[in-house]
């Protein structure tokens, strides 16, 4: 919108008999919108204030217009237009031309249909889809800015470079590992011989499976206990690195997890990785919401080696499931991940993130982070109060600020004199699980009940005490999270329902 444009528009509106003074005011609105867009294009940062939905849609429609082959959905082609060949602007004679059959589908993607990336690299712009390419680039730049200025991962450390993947955290982890293996990210001569990944135990299936999907062998490094906390066992880690020497491609640590597991000592592991020249990948699935965790990762990048940090977009930015952001101090690592992705991908997770970031703005994102901080000042205390009412207590894991555990040992009935221990344990496990079901049926979602002594097998590997990330945690417990986006009224209600459920359970017992 410049002087010529304004003149033309002003002239047109005058011809429509809109008074000049009105036009001036109207144009000032349009110019204000254009300014926002211009500012986004020039600074390529998360805007300080969020945009309105109106502005976002206007921009999306504009951006989509840049795409080639923005055609009318096939189901809308009326006979009247088909004879009217002058209306064919683009003829598509490829095997994939971004044609969309349904109106509803075209509408929900704002006309974008080409996905993102090319067969060679998921970050590569598509000639047919300039709009999608622009959107993908801007989304990445905005989320990196948000991570730096909002979450606190530094541009000098982990948030130096980044890539958005339309994959969940697990599959992203697989892709990262594959690319590290293929690109010889470690300095050893023959990385193909590096077929082992060391994994500081965290009882969650996706990550373990990711290692296998990448064609690598996962070696589980046991954790240690420190008071109530389940922590990184640095000695075991060191021993494992030495044991698999020459075969270790990478160590995986985890920084967001269910209590009583606490975030891994990423800095200590980072030092070890540097010393032994192996890669270090941090599974930071939903850790961006925690300033302390981000600081710890910053430090790890400074004192040792971190190759990649993998974060979920849905858990951190409140979009539907399906995307991940991978960050790294190294440009090369990020580049290699992009080229490892085989084919084009759905742009949908990026569209969601694009809209959400524009809608939040930096201030909105910060408010969400602050709101969680405010909730944290009372949640653990109040949770503990409910627990104590029923003879239980909170597990003391101060370094996990997202997930909180309370013991539920008292939910187990006493062992009958003549009862076989195994039978007893199984019966008790069932009982305790019922507590979770009761909460769920009262519309409480997200709690986890972990009885003692459950064994689970994943990919042929047996896990004792599954759920607590260590072989024999001395308590049955329940966890609940105080995660980004949770509202005070939800917390209030949760505590009320938890209380009621305890009462009812005890009564039945």
Stretch that binds a second copy, among 148-156, 206-214, 416-424, 461-469 (CB under 8 A): 206-214
Q: Is 26 in the site for a second copy (CB under 8 A)?
A: yes
Q: Is 499 in the site for a second copy (CB under 8 A)?
A: no
Stretch that binds a second copy, among 78-86, 223-231, 237-245, 420-428 (CB under 8 A): 78-86
Q: Is 345 in the site for a second copy (CB under 8 A)?
A: yes
H or E element that contains 162: strand 161-165
Q: Looking at beta carbons only, is 301 or 360 nearer to a second copy?
A: 360
Q: How far apart are CA 128 and CA 69, in angstroms?
A: 7
Residue that has been written with the tokens 């293996």 in this structure? 181
CB of 7 to a second copy, least distance (A): 10
Site string for a second copy, 372-401 (x = CB under 8 A): ------------------------------
Q: Is 10 in the site for a second copy (CB under 8 A)?
A: no
Pairing of strands 248-254, 279-283: parallel
Q: Which of residues 222-251 bind a second copy (CB under 8 A)?
A: none
Q: Per residue in 30-52, is it b (16+ CB within 10 Å) or e — as a string? A: eeebeebbeebeeeebbbeebbe
CB of 303 to a second copy, least distance (A): 28
Q: Which of residues 426-465 bind a second copy (CB under 8 A)?
A: 437, 440-441, 443-448, 459
Torsion of CA 58, 59, 62, 66, to 10 degrees: -160
Q: Is 78 in the site for a second copy (CB under 8 A)?
A: yes
- Residue of the chain from 342, 374, 381, 396 that contacts a second copy (CB under 8 A): 342
Q: Looking at beta carbons only, is 272 or 372 nearer to a second copy?
A: 372
- Residue of the chain from 86, 187, 377, 422 that contacts a second copy (CB under 8 A): 86
Tokens representing residue 53 in the block: 């939905």
Q: Which of residues 120-139 bind a second copy (CB under 8 A)?
A: 120, 125-128, 130-131, 133-134, 137-138
Are 350 and 139 in contact by the 8 Å Cβ rule? The answer is yes
Q: Per residue in 335-353, is it b (16+ CB within 10 Å) or e — as a string? A: bbbbebbeebbebbbbbbb
Are 271 and 237 in contact by the 8 Å Cβ rule? The answer is no
| Partners of 184 in the β-ladder | none
Are 136 and 107 in contact by the 8 Å Cβ rule? The answer is no
Residue 9 CA: distances (Å) to CA of 6, 15, 332: 5, 10, 48
Give me Rg for the CA atoms of the chain: 27
CB of 257 to a second copy, least distance (A): 9
Stretch that binds a second copy, among 88-96, 228-236, 297-305, 461-469 (CB under 8 A): 88-96
H or E element that contains 425: helix 421-441
Site string for a second copy, 158-197 (x = CB under 8 A): --------xxxxxx-xxx--x--xx---------------
Q: Looking at beta carbons only, is 178 or 265 nearer to a second copy?
A: 178
Q: Looking at beta carbons only, is 365 or 505 nearer to a second copy?
A: 365
Q: How far apart are CA 457 and CA 464, in angstroms?
A: 9
Q: How far apart are CA 263 and CA 286, in angstroms?
A: 11
For a second copy (CB under 8 A), the number of binding residues is 190
CB of 304 to a second copy, least distance (A): 26
């Amino acid at each position: 919108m410049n002087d010529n444009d304004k003149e033309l528009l002003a002239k047109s509106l005058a011809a429509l008999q809109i008074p000049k003074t009105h036009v001036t005011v109207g144009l000032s609105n349009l110019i204000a919108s254009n300014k926002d867009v211009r500012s986004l294009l020039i600074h390529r940062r998360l805007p300080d204030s969020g945009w309105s939905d109106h502005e976002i849609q206007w921009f999306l429609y504009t951006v989509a217009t840049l795409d080639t082959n923005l055609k009318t959905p096939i189901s809308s082609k009326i006979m009247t237009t088909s004879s009217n060949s002058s209306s064919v602007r683009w003829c598509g004679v490829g095997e994939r031309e971004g044609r969309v059959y349904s109106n509803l589908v075209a509408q929900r993607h704002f006309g974008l249909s080409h996905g993102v990336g090319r067969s060679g690299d998921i970050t590569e712009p598509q000639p047919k889809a300039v709009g999608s390419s622009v959107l993908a680039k801007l989304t990445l730049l905005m989320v990196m800015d948000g991570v730096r200025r909002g979450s606190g991962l530094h541009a000098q450390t982990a948030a130096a470079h980044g890539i958005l993947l339309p994959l969940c955290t697990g599959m992203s982890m697989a892709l990262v590992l594959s690319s590290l293996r293929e690109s010889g990210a470690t300095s050893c001569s023959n990385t193909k011989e590096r077929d082992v990944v060391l994994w500081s135990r965290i009882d969650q299936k996706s990550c373990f499976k990711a290692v296998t999907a990448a064609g690598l062998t996962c070696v589980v490094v046991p954790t240690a206990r420190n008071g109530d906390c389940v922590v990184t066992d640095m000695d075991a880690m060191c021993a494992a690195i030495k044991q698999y020497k020459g075969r270790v491609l990478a160590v995986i640590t985890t920084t967001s997890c269910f209590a009583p597991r606490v975030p891994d000592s990423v800095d200590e592991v980072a030092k070890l990785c540097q010393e032994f020249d192996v890669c270090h990948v941090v599974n930071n699935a939903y850790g961006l919401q925690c300033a302390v965790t981000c600081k710890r990762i910053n430090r790890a990048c400074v004192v040792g080696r971190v190759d990649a940090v993998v974060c979920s977009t849905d858990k951190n930015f409140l979009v539907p499931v399906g995307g991940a952001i991978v960050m790294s101090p190294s440009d090369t690592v990020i580049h290699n991940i992009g080229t490892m992705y085989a084919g084009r991908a759905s742009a949908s997770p990026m569209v969601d993130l694009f809209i959400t970031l524009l809608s939040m703005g930096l201030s909105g994102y910060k408010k969400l982070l602050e709101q969680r901080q405010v909730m944290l000042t009372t949640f653990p205390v109040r949770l503990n109060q409910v627990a104590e009412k029923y003879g239980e207590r909170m597990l003391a894991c101060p370094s996990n600020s997202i997930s909180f555990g309370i013991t539920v040992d008292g939910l187990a009935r006493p062992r009958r004199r003549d009862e076989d221990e195994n039978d007893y344990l199984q019966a008790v496990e069932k009982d305790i699980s019922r507590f979770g079901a009761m909460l769920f049926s009262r519309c409480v979602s997200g709690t986890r009940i972990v009885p003692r002594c459950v064994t689970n097998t994943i990919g042929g590997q047996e896990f004792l005490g599954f759920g607590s990330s260590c072989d024999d945690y001395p308590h049955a417990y329940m966890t609940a999270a105080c995660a980004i986006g949770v509202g005070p009224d939800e917390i209030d209600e949760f505590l009320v329902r938890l209380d009621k459920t305890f009462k009812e359970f005890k009564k039945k017992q």
